[in-house]
Each structure stands twice: as structure tokens, then as C-alpha cells.
Structure 1
Amino acid sequence: MEDIYVNRKYFNFWQYFFLITFLSTSFISCQKKEVKLIDRNIHAYILHIKNERLHEAFKIINITTDSIVKKELKHHYNFLTQTNNELHDSIKELDKELSFINTVKLPSSVRSLAFINKGDFYIGVNNLDSHISFENYVLAYKEAKKNNDTILICESLKKILFTLYKNSESDSSTCKKYIDVYKNFIYDATENTFYNFYYNDHLGYTTSTSRIKELKKVLKESKTIKNTFIKGKICQLIGIHYNYFDHNQDSSLVYNNKAIKYYSSNTNNLNKIELHGIYNNIGMLKQESDTLSEAVYYFYKALKIELPKNRFLEKEKVNGQLSELFEQRNMADSALYYLKQKIKYSDILAEHQKAISIIDINTRYETAEKDKEIIAAKLKSTKKTNQLIISLAILFIVIISAYLLQKNTRKKQLFAEQAQDLEAQKVKSLLQEQELASIDAMIAGQEKERQRIAEDLHDDLGGLMATINLHIENVSSGNNPNALDKTKVLLNEAYEKIRNISHVRNAGVMANKGLLVAVKNMAQKVNDSNKIHIEVIDFGLNERLENSLELSLFRIIQELITNIIKHAEASKATIQLTQHNYSLNIIVEDNGKGFNLQKKSQGIGLHNIKQRIEHLKGEIKIDSTHMKGATIIVDIPYIKNT
């Protein structure tokens, strides 16, 4: 019962161990699947947006179940579709969300998208905040790079390059570095078009050479893509190169108008901002060519574009252009009005820049505080992670220790069982040896007793028979009239003595003649009955065996012949004795009715035979078929004297 309890205990332990392992593996597998699903949704959304399939992109938002991912996708979508006031209000919400995202462990794709969103909203609301946008785009790139996320790497690099493109004071080496990186991650025709745009713009700027031919080739190759924004940018850049390098205003206007068509085909917020800039540029071209009425037309169109309320620089610029234009046309009132508008936006811009400086100081302080909080949160998270690792390590050590303990206990049990089996074998062997010694002692005692009886026969009956012989002589001579009576008395006495020792008559034969003679004598006596004929055949029995062995073999043969006489109903039997170098072989056969080998109950005689053979370390084989007699083969190990 104790062994059953121990086994059941270990069985329950391993059940719990495998259950915990299964649940842990399942949990990790589910987490990996969830991360893959999040990445797949974000990638699908970005590809739809890039190809200007806003309706399909919105479907991705609706089917997304993770609340944080859903929010970030919505922010990105709103940046393209919301009104300007809504964009301004979204920045505070984004700041809060990024603070939260920095304190929790999220997939790199989610963090990258969150940084892109923050950069978009800052540059969309106020182009003076482009440095903040640039920092967030770089963070987005680093997050995407962690998992080698090609789609988000390209998305963040496009944002970085666009910020550098808009900033005329940006370092050209920084721009080249990111263009070279971008080249290694291009994965489709749209990305290739964006890359070629930024590459040719950078090369034209740094070498002061026209890239019109190369840009036209890029525009031609872009016919297969759906992105109108980059097509508009290429046309706009060709127009700039025509005006700046070739001083060809007509061609410049042609490509600026093509850009307008592309931007107007999809009026998302990005295209709106670009439309404002291109209208202003065309107005300046018209102003330079003295087509002032057309210049006014395009400046007015620029003013009608709804810009985010903090885009003061663009508003200051277009109002300044109108003021100059009306001054050229000697329209003092209109010139004064737009000059005041320009001054107003200039003052606001100056105040805004001061505010930005104050905000920047405050932001740095808040950032430092947030960094402290983030570091504290990370330390706390690291501490928890370390505790988890230590707990798992301890659990692992406990499991291994329990396994080794169970294995060691099992080994000890096996060793104990083996020791018990060995001890039992030793006891059995000792009992067999003792039994054999007892049998040998019994046989030796029986032989001694029979020798003694033989000696008594010789000494006692020999003398008595000699006396009887004398009386018989007396009867013959007639010298003694009582000799006959005395002879009868002596004969009766001799008869009684013979009856008392008749049971040991065979011992005398064994002692004097050996096994083979004793067996042949026994067979002859049986043959004299004329009921069964026994034939004795011998091979190699030229020398006497050990006395006790001969006696044991004789008793085995005697018992087998007795069984044949009693049960076999045989008319013939054969006893075959063979002595080999290392064994003695006895074969006893008869032509009787045989017996059933499968029958469990056996007679005492056959049991005794088997026991005697076992004590002699021999083997017995029995072959019997119904009505076809029986054959019994006995092999006894014995080393022949050479």
C-alpha cells in the first residue's frame, strides 16, 4: 500500500508538472499569435493608406480588437481626415497615450506607429514643431528596426526624409544617410518612387544641377502606383527645377498644374497643405511675370485652403505676397490691409516662438520627470521580470530535484528488490544444499544399515546354515534320531531371520555388483513372471559409479518400472543406460497405453522421481501419446573418470 501511495504521489506530481508546462507553452504561443495578428493588421492598414484606399483602411480599424492598437490606427486615420481644430486637440491626447505606452510592454509595431502619429500631428498643426516631429519619427524608425519590420521602417524613413525636405536648413549628410538606409528596405513600386524622389531632390540640391530628365523618368514609372501625393510632389519638384535651373516659367507652370490635379484628386490633409504651397508658388511665378491679376487669383486660392490654426508661417508669407502685389498695382488700401495681416501673423509668430521657448523649457522639465517615471517603471518591470525568472529558476530546480529524488528513490527500491531476490536465491540454494546433504546422509545411512544387515546375514545366518547342514548330515547318517526335528527348528529360525531382513536383499546386490547388475537382476525377476518383458541395454558403463549415486539411480529406475507394471498395461519395456564423459543418460520406454501430460495431478511415484532427479541437478523429459506408450529420458550431470 505504501508503494502504491508513493507511485500515485509521483504520478500526481508529474501530472501537475506537464499541466503547468502545457499551459505556459500555450500562453506563450497565444501571445506570439496575438503579436502576429497585431503586426498583420497594422501592415494591412498602412498598405491601404499608402494606396489611398481609405475605406478599406477604416475596415481594418473596425475589425481590430486590441484597444491600444485600435486607438493608434484611429489617430493615424484622423490625421488624414479630421478638421484642423480637431487635429490641434488630438496632440494632448497623443502625449498622454505615449506616456502610457512607454510604461507598458507592447509590440514594436504599436510603439512605432504611436511615434509616427505624434510626429504627424506636431508637424501637421505647426511646421515650427518639425524638430519634435523629427525626433518622434527617428524613435519610430528605431522601434521598427528592432524587429526588422520593413513596412514600418519604410513608413518612418519617409516621414524623416519629408521633414528634412521641408527644412531648408537641414544637414545634407543626415539626409543622405537616411536615403541610403531607405534604399535597402524598398519592397514595392510605391516605395521605389518615394526613394527616387528624395534621392533626386537631394542630388539636385547638393550639386546645384537640374534633375528634370531623371524626375520625368520617375514620374513615367509611377503610372502604376495609386499614391497621388508622391506624384504631385514629383510634378512640383520638376516645376521648381524648370523655374530655378532653366528659368522656364511656362514649363514650371505646366508641371505645377499637373501637381494641382494630383493633389485635388484626393483631398486629405496632406494634399491640402501641399495645395496651399503650390498655389502660393504659382502666385509668385505670375507676380514675377507681371500677370498680376492671375497672381492675385492664386494667392486668394492659397488663402482659401483651410490650414491648421497654428500654421502662422504660411499665412504670414501669403499675406506678405498679396501686400507687395497690391502695392505694385497702386492699390494702397488693399496693400495696407494685407500688410497688417502679415504683421499680425508675424507678431503672433514671434509670440509663439517665445511661447515655444518657454514650453520647450517646461517640456524638457516634464520630459525629465517623465523619464524618471519611465526609468522607475522600467526598473519596477525589470524587478518583476527578475523575480519571475528567479521563481521559474527555483521551480525548475525543484522540478529537477524532485525528478532526481524520485529517480534515486526508484533506484533504491530496485536495488532493495534485487537484494531481496538475491537473498531469497541464496536461502533457496542453501536449503537445496542442506536437503541434498540430508539426502546424501540418509542414503549413506541406509547403505551402512544395509551393509550391516548383509554382515549379519553372513555372520548370523551363515553360522546357522552351517549348523543346519550338520544336522542334515546327521539325519542322513541316522546317528541322531532327533536331528530331523532340530533341523526343522533351525530352518524355521533361519526363515524368520530371512524375513526380518528381506527388505534389504537388493542392498547386498548393489554393494557387491553395482548399478547395472542390480538393474538386470530386477529385470530378470520381472521377466520370470511372464507378464511383461524388460530389456536392459547399456553403453559405456564399464566402471562402478559412486555408491550413493548408483543407489539413487537404481531407486529412480525401480520406481519407473513399478509405474509401468502398475499403470501402463504394457507387454514390453526397455531400459537404456548410457554413460558419457559429462553426463549419465537413462531412457525408459514402454508400449503401454500412455498418459495425459496436461493432467495437473500426478502420482506420488512420479513426484518422488522428479525430486530425486532435481537433487542430482539433472533433467527429466517425458513424452507420451495416448495408446502409443511413453518415453522418459533422464540426464544426470556426471564427470567420467579418465
Structure 2
Amino acid sequence: MPYKRIYSLLLLLFLSTTNLFSQAENLQKQTKSLAQKATLLMKNENYEKSLILSRQALSQAIALKDNNLIAACYNTIAANFDQLAEFEKALFYYKKGLIYADKTNNNHLKNWINNNLGNIYCFDKKEYAKGIYYYKKSLEYSSKIADSSEILFTKLNISWAYFDIGKFNKGLPYLKYINKHHRIHGDETTIVALNMLNGMYYSHANNPQKAHYYFEKAIELGQKSNEKSDLSFAHQEYSKFLFKIKKFKKAYENLYAYNELTAKLNDEEKLKKVNVAGINLEIDEYKREIDNIKTEYKTSHQILLEKQSKNKFISIIIITILLLFIVFSYLYFQNKQLKQTNNLKDIESKIQENIITASINGQEMERKKIASFLHDNISALLSSAAMHLTIFSTKNQSNSEEITKTKAILIQTHYKIRDLSHRLLPTLLARFGLFYALNDLCEMNSNSTIHFHYSSDVSDETRYDEDYEMKMYFIVSELLNNITNHSEANKAKLHLKELNKQLHIVVKDNGVGFEINQYQTIEGFGLNQIKARINTMEGKFTIISKPNQGTTIEIIAPIDYKS
């Protein structure tokens, strides 16, 4: 009997272990499938679904502790942000992916992440030293896996980066390699860039005949393909060369083609056009709304005062005629006067809330339109100004320090304006909605000092009315800022759920807390403004806090669904 019992226990243990291994294997297959679907969606420009699936895959990969899958998921998330022109976020996730990729033997993945980092530093941030460093790391890994096409692709990027900063001698060895091996290992996606690079080199080497040949060949091939970006660069570099040799008419033709292509590329990234007059009209509308509220308040106040005066007169008559009812009349009218005073206070409080809400709504509308205006117009104008200045200096063969500094200032201003427009109105909120934006907000605000945990019972794909999403995003953003700046907490939670057509939001931290009856007087928290906004939405705003016991804020707001 004892032997049979031991055998049964061992058999049960073996079956349980086998079942666990089978579950882990199935989860790994499911995670790989999700990651592959996310990558395919990204390549097909379906960035919203790609981000959703890649984040799901990332969560499962972290649970599996599979560094290879984690790195691949981070790379896909970063690539989506890269395509959406959110380069700072792309940089953040590429670097996270590289941390996990370096823990694996997947040299193919290391190659691509390093190459993508090189692209951002060279062509978006214009930090060529860092970009070339990552390109060379990419070349190191592509050489290890002996992938000839990736070696050629990476050397093409290195050559381009060196040529872009005028270091032709350093870029020439890489260009020679590409010219030698492109027929065997190259493809249609690199042929336009290769011819353009040859044109740039022969322009530098003062060989007009070959420069003409390669530039025109790059443009011819670019027009046949869908490589608009490479084609626009080819027109730009060709125009620089033509200005250099004083063929101004043809130079301006290519410059015009470059501007036209650049405008088309910019149009593809636009969400809305901004009308400055429209902004002013919105401001005037909100001012009129506030004036109307004040007028209504004065009218109500005047009516109540007139009623009060009339009632006092009647009371005097009644008291004079009927002395027996003096006490009763006194109590009656005093009670009525108290109610009227309370009504006045309620009206005044409601007006204050409406004024605050109207003011903040106006600010958010301005924020939205100004962000689009900065991104779509001012940023494009600065880029154009920098380009024209470059052409001017090339045409006049001027390398003065003032022109160089002016170009640097224009480029720096361009990136600062672009970053400002993203801070005014996050692209992720406009494209993918409230829940995706709040998830990303928690992740971006987390650091070594404090961690924000995000959870939601609502699908990330759920969309509400655009203005409603913007209001709730900035309310939660203000609460998270309060935690970071005032709570001294190291952990915080954001939880969302949808119940009975109402959005329930809970923000909780383990910080120092405060006395609730004192929060109205605390400067910088903005809780009064948030409470006023929720009240005007006919919602509820609750604060639970005690000193040294953390703070919990609960918000219930009726949902304004997307029409």
C-alpha cells in the first residue's frame, strides 16, 4: 500500500508539471502570434491596432520573462511611434527594447534596433555623432549574422550620415562598398538613395558630368517608385548642386519639386488645419457666455431682493394689525430670508463653477488649435527658412559664422516648437483615445522615484466624444502632477471603469496626505478647479485623505459618447 500511494503522488506531480509546461508553451506561442500580427499591422499603417496588440504581447512577454519577445514588442511599439512622428517616445521605447535585446543572442534584432536609433538621431534629432555610433553598432551585428543585404543597407545609412555633415572622405569607403555590391544584395528601396549619394559625392568632387547623371537617375527612379521621401531629398540635393554650378533655372525647378513633395508628405501627417480667426471667435464666444452668466446672476439677484423687500413690507402690516401673530410672522419671514440667502449663495457658487469651466474650455480649445497651428504651419515655415538659408549660403559660397549660427537656431527652434505642440495636445490622445493616452501617461511619468500603475476595465479601443476625452485627460494629468509634485509617494494607482453610462476614475497614492478641510487653501493643487469642472458635468468629486495615510480621489462623470 505505501508504494502504491507514493507512486500515485509521483504520477500526480508529473502530470501537474507537464500541464504547467504545456500552458507556458501555449502562452509563448500566443504571444509570438500577437507580436507578429502587431508588426504586420504596423507595416500596413494600421498603427492603432498595432499598438494595442503589441502592448498585449508585451504584457504576456514580461509575464513569461522572455527577453527576446520583450525586446521585439518594445521595438514594434517604438516603430509605431516613429511612423507617427512621435520621435521622443520612439526613442524611449527603442532604448528599452535595446536593454532587453542585449540580454539575448538575437543579433538580427540588435541590428535593427540600433539601426532605428541611428535613424532617429541622424535624421530627426540631427545628432549625427550619436546616430553614426548606433549605425556602426548595427553594422557590427549585421556582420555577425552575415546578412549581406542588411550590411549594405546599414552602410548606405552611414554613408548618407557622413555626407549630410560634409564628411565625404569618411563616407566614401562605405559608398564604394555599396556601388560594388548593390546589384547583388540591394533592392528597389535603396537604389534611389544610392544614386543620390553618388550625385552628392561627385558634386563635392567637382565632377559635374557624373553628378548630373546620378542625380537625374535618382529622380527618374524615384518617380517610378513610392519612395517620396528619398525623391524629395534627391531634388533638394540636386538643386544645391545646380546652384553651385550657377544653373539657377533648373535649380529652382528642382527646389520647387522638393517643396511640393515636402508639402505632400506634411499633408499626410496633418490632422486638421488651424484657422487663427477661428481661435479668436472661440475666445469671443466664451467671453460672451461668461457675460451672459453674470447678467443672469444680476437679474436673479435683483428679483430676489425685490421679493424680500415686498415680504418685509407685508410683514410690517401683518405685525401692526395682528399682534398675536408677531412671533409666528417673525419666525416665518426670518426662515424665508435664510432660504433666499442660501439660494443666492448656491447661484453664486454655480456661476463661479460655470465661469471656471468656460474659461478652462476656452483654454483647452486654444491649446488644441494652437498645437495644430504650431505643428502644421510654424514648424513647416521654419524648416523652409532653414532650407532657403542653406541654398543662399551655397549660392553665394558663404560660410560665415552668422549664417551657420542662424541655421542652427532655426533648426533648434523647429524642434522646440514641435515638442511644444505635442505637449499642448498629445498626438496619442487625438489618434487613439483617452484610455491609450492615460496608459501611456502613467508609463511616461513613472521613474525611479515613483511608479504609476494603470488598470482599466474598459477596452483601450473605446472612444468617447473628442472634447470629453480631452477634458478627462487633462483632469487626470493634473491629478498625477499633484502626486508627483506634492505627495512624496513612491507608488500610485489609476483605475478606470464604465458603469451605467458613467466613467469612474480612482487615483490613489501612498504619500503624506493632508487634512481635507484645508485643501481649498492649498495653492498649486488645482483641486477646486477640477471639482468645479466635474460639478458642471453633473458628476461627483470625492477626496479621501489623512496626514501620513495617503490620498484617494474618486471621480464619477457622465459619459459623452462619440456621435
TM-score of the two chains, using structure 2 as the length reference:
0.45
TM-score (norm 1): 0.40
Higher Cα radius of gyration: 1
